[in-house]
A and B are shown apart, each in its own frame.
Chain A
Amino acid sequence: MARMGVFICWCGSNIAETVDCESVAQYASTLPGVVVGRSYKYMCSDPGQRLITDAIKEHNLSGVVVASCSPRMHEPTFRQAVATVGMNPYMLEMANIREHCSWVHTNRAEATEKAKDLVRVLVEKVKRNVPLADIEVPVTQRAMVIGAGIAGIQAALDVAAAGFEVALVERQPSIGGYMSMLDETFPTLDCSQCILTPRMVEIMQSKNITLHSFSEVEQVEGYVGNFEVSIRKKPRSVDMEKCTGCGDCWNNCMARNKIIAPSPVLPGEHTPPEVAEKVDAILATYTDPSGMVIGALQDVQREFNYLHPDALVYLSEKSEIPLARLYSVASFYNAFSLEPRGDNIIRTCLGTACHLRGGGRIADAISRELGIGDGETTKDMKFTLERVNCLGACALAPVVTVNNKYYGKMTIGKMMDVLEERAGQDAGQPQEQPQEATAV
């Protein structure tokens, strides 16, 4: 059988002014299973507590209800008190007749009745209480500090100094926070970095601190004493183990500006269709793009009579060979022309044999006659003059070719005749023939 004790607290006048505490105590003693009912001015005071413990001993109580303030305030107080005399602390509960009653009511009679109700309810509950044992939860004896500015550094160092491990998580690649940016600090004007850096270095030196820099907390599970924190370590792209911090990489980093990634171009996007068609036909004759550059350029030149810029751009886009390389190649070799050429391409040989036999004079004479220099084209697009370094027909020196037709043992006079004849022909007529030498 339950042997309950009920103890009504006046809380000075806090409760007693509105609730007739003594009558509640009286009433409580009448409840079934209650063997003692008392009221007292301050139940939480030493004499108050002793009142309870003495009653427990005297009446061999099995449970206690204290009617007073909120259990938030003094439940630990009373539970510890009953434990001192051997009662299981969970056999004590509190009826809140202050916040729930005296403070919220003004009618003394009604409040007293309500207090009685509250006590009765609690008595019935506590009668059914069973002794409970506190739960012991194991504690992971490590700590985490999130953020490694001066506050985080200090907290981590303090915990580490006490001999416990700390995981220090910093979002930025370096610890130090704002304080590392400051010049001098008020009011003493000491140098911020000078007082901070030793702390930062200590972090690295401390055996108890694991630094996760450039890392962020992703997820936290668990509970006090047993947290599991998942940390995302962002990729630095530098192996911290191997890196010696020598500085070669950042001193030689090639990107000095923000990168403007070129927008992808669809091959032929800006190419006139007739140009694309011709270039496609040329490309179709090559299987291996790596070695085709010069051959393909020659074909393009034959097709357009010069290296048409649209064709070059399209060739680059289709073959994925950089335009710069094509341009470089096109401007490197003598055989290529980046400028439109005339109907008649005159090549004057300046090989040694031709030079000795006056090839240079013929070239000069053509220049004079047509008013164009080496590699230039007349305004009427009739003639282009190219000086070449040997046509390999040295026995016929001096040699000139016009659209690959060979003219051997040339003189200025003969040359002028040829020019006159060619000038008379219709424009756009005989473009340079790809095939071999023909007779004169």
Chain B
Amino acid sequence: MINLTIDNQQIEAEEGKTLLAAATLAGIDIPTLCYHPAVPSAGACRICVVEITGGGQPGLVPACAYPVQEGLEIQTESERVVASRRMTLALMLARSPGATIIQEMAQEYGAEPVPMDKGDDDCIMCGLCVRVCQDVIGQSAVCFEGRGHERKITTPYDKQSEVCLGCGACAFICPTGAIDPADYCPHPLETIPNDFNCGLDTRTPIHIPFPQAVPNKPLIDRENCIHFITGGCEACKQICPADAIDFDMTDEYVTEKVGAIVVATGYELFNPDVYAEYGYGRYPDVVTSIEFERMVSASGPTTGELVRPSTGKPPKTVVFLQCIGSRREQGGLPYCSKICCMYTAKHAILYKHKVHDGQAFVFYMDVRSGGKNYEQFVRRVIKEQMATYLRGRVAKIFPSDGKLIVRGADTLSGTQVEIAAEMVVLAPAMVPAAGIRNLAQTLRIGYDEHGFLLEAHPKLRPVETNTAGVFLAGACHSPKDIPDSVAQASAAASKVLGLISHQTLTREPTIGIVDEETCNACFECEGACAYGAIGPKELKDRKGEVTAVVAYINEGLCQGCGACAVTCRSKSIEVQGYRDDQLFAAINATGR
């Protein structure tokens, strides 16, 4: 540890740290421009100069690049320091009069305008972009050209750089916003969509899923992380104060022993882009209901302000379309998604809350509002004219004059209607979560043609499955709203508790047993057993030495089907209660 004094404050700092790091740790603020903690310091812009007043060669040194030394005495705001910063800013202002951050800092430091030759380049030549590209990203797409005052930032031969990853680090790190990677990258730049906000905004490869996520810790999306693509960039690792970044992590396997399993894998939304007539994916103002949720959410990408994606202005007319994919025998799903009628009514209310003079229309097939207070809720929406309900389907949506023309039928009046909408919200069908079939097979439980998991009995055992000990909760079973999901979850929990609150479980004894005397350990039975109940067992003598290996039938797993018994060539397996002599006697007794 090194002791030094910064602004008359005694400070301890680790050897090798810079004055800037030591000061920051002590809560002393030093302005910087060409500095970023993940990038090697250059000491180029000279904004962070501080004065050595004792303990070393007196003078101005850049805090970002000067190492701490025993006994140094530093002043960070001395007259000399301030005068130097003032002149630095005056010179930067002369070069880059348009750079906002320079204007602000110049004002803060009272850098008076000096009669100088003026430039018009926002680039203050701090070189962060070059350093980040070379030293952090590891690509060297941008570089300096020339030297001195003629120096500029460019790519070789001013051509778009073949090595540019398009990552945008240069623009991110530029203090004045002077660089645009689109100028340098030969490929169109594409941001990383933020799934939590349905791609309505962007995120970085290392991210937390959303602000209130649990656990509230970040993760790296390896598909987009520079380090995992090129082996370069370790900025997060450099920066992490807790040294928590671990690029070497691999899949980790853990085994949990449990007595019961609840499957609650939920649902996804049907992708409406298969229906060309609705224009989803083509017209930015056609959105899905979950996107609409994010758009009106205070934690969403627009912090709750509902705007048209195309214009950024609030939509004055919104058309809601129910049953997108659901209740559609041809080219869709035959079942009712159950929740769409209700949330569309809710959306109409939310819309009215956001856009008071807005006009909402709902195209529906039937309004299904079974549930406590549900019907009253929908009634309220209709009665209070929060939305105009039109019974019928929409045939086509097409853009015209900055709006979307929604053409559909009002079957109640028997007329065709056309609505010039500024936004269209689709209510897609609920479908089981992706991968549900694999999971069902792993758990040996059934699923229907759509992938919804099968209960053991539709009436009497709605939370159980055909596999003992596996239970269902929520929308993995069928479309459900929140209260239904929660109710089923609690039901499943009680079933689980009924099972695991006992230390043992009783099973019928009608299972296979092996005659260990005659078993010749051919293990044909093992292959025949559909339940994986048969395995080898070592027989040991009194000394504990293995004398023989025989087939062993796990009592818990054996279903008593008898496949092993008929497979066994040495006739060493019989099923209790269904022994051969019993069955032969029974057959003989048929008397025919």
Contacts and interface: CB of A to CB of B under 8 A. Distances in A.
- Are A and B direct contacts in the complex by CB distance below 8 Å? yes
Contacts of A226: 257, 259, 556
B139 to A, nearest CB: 8
Chain A CB within 10 Å, residue with most, of B258, B263, B293, B531: B258
Given A180-B210, A249-B240, A259-B224, A149 B442 contact: no
A64 to B, nearest CB: 14
Contact of B556 (A121, A137, A162, A259): A137
Contact of A324 (B143, B172, B253, B257): B143
A178 B589 contact: no
Interface in B204-221: 204-210, 212-220
A186 B166 CA distance: 44
A135 B506 contact: yes
B235 interface: yes
A421 interface: no
Given A140-B257, A237-B249, A254-B137, A249 B501 contact: no
A232 to B, nearest CB: 5
B377 A151 contact: no
A260 B480 CA distance: 41
Nearest to B378: A187
Given A155-B264, A164-B500, A243-B218, A323 B156 contact: yes
Given A262-B162, A324-B142, A253 B235 contact: yes
B342 to A, nearest CB: 5
A149 B474 contact: yes
A235 interface: yes
Given A135-B508, A238-B218, A187 B377 contact: yes
B510 A255 contact: no
B505 A248 contact: no
A173 B209 contact: yes
Interface stretch (B95-103, B107-115, B386-394, B577-585): B577-585
B465 to A, nearest CB: 11
Nearest to A322: B140
A130 to B, nearest CB: 8
B147 interface: yes
B242 interface: yes
A368 interface: no
B253 A230 contact: yes
A253 B218 CA distance: 12
A137 B163 contact: no
A125 B189 CA distance: 79
A158 interface: yes
Interface in A216-269: 217-246, 248-250, 252-262, 265
Interface in A170-215: 171-189, 193, 197, 200-201, 203-204, 210-214
Interface stretch (B60-68, B343-351, B417-425): B343-351
B462 interface: no
Contact of B249 (A156, A184, A210, A236): A236
B398 interface: no
A203 B216 CA distance: 12
Contacts of B460: none
B264 A231 contact: no
Interface string B425-447: 00000000100000100111000
A225 B505 contact: yes
B185 A238 contact: no
A132 B589 contact: no
A259 B486 contact: no
Contact of B144 (A178, A221, A328): A328
B165 to A, nearest CB: 5
B164 to A, nearest CB: 8
Contact of B496 (A117, A143, A219, A312): A143
A252 to B, nearest CB: 5
A125 B242 CA distance: 73
Contact of A261 (B133, B165, B213): B165
Contact of A143 (B208, B259, B442): B259
Contacts of B168: 255-257
B497 A162 contact: yes
Nearest to A31: B589
B226 A127 contact: no
Contacts of A275: none
Interface in B285-334: 290, 293-294, 296-300
Contacts of A122: 586
Contact of B476 (A147, A243, A265): A147
A149 B166 CA distance: 36
Contacts of B226: 254-255, 259
B220 A145 contact: no
Chain B interface size range:
35 or more
Q: Which of B218, B246, B442, B510 has the most CB of A within 10 A?
A: B218
A184 B187 CA distance: 41
Interface stretch (B27-35, B359-367, B487-495): B487-495
A137 B474 contact: no
Given A224-B505, A327-B156, A145 B262 contact: yes
B374 A187 contact: yes
A152 interface: yes
B236 A252 contact: yes
A136 B555 CA distance: 9
Highest count of chain A CB atoms <10 Å: which of B156, B214, B503, B591: B214
B336 interface: no
Nearest to A240: B217
A197 B213 CA distance: 9
B499 A225 contact: yes
B296 A224 contact: no
Contacts of A27: none
Nearest to B345: A186
A176 B195 CA distance: 14
B553 to A, nearest CB: 11
B224 A255 contact: yes
B167 A128 contact: no
A141 interface: yes
B134 interface: yes
Contacts of B212: 176, 180, 193, 197, 200
B265 interface: yes
A155 B496 contact: yes
Contacts of A138: 503-505
Contacts of A237: 206, 219-220, 222, 225, 245-247, 249
A144 interface: yes
A172 B219 CA distance: 11
A236 B207 CA distance: 10
B163 A262 contact: yes
Contact of B377 (A186, A236, A242): A186
B444 to A, nearest CB: 8
A152 B191 contact: no
A256 B204 contact: yes
Given A146-B263, A225-B259, A140 B500 contact: yes
Given A237-B249, A325-B140, A229 B582 contact: no
B404 interface: no
Contacts of A135: 506-509, 511, 555
Nearest to A126: B582
B256 interface: yes
Contacts of A176: 210, 212-214
A395 B20 CA distance: 50
A253 B485 contact: no
A153 B492 CA distance: 12
Interface in B143-163: 143-147, 155-157, 161-163
B589 A121 contact: yes
Given A174-B210, A183-B297, A249-B245, 7 more contacts: A90-B510, A146-B439, A223-B554, A237-B225, A239-B245, A242-B243, A246-B242
Please give me the 8 A-B residue pairs with the lowest Cβ-Cβ distance, nearest first: A151-B474, A224-B469, A158-B493, A322-B140, A256-B168, A174-B213, A152-B264, A253-B204
7 contacts: A90-B510, A146-B261, A187-B371, A242-B243, A255-B204, A322-B139, A322-B163
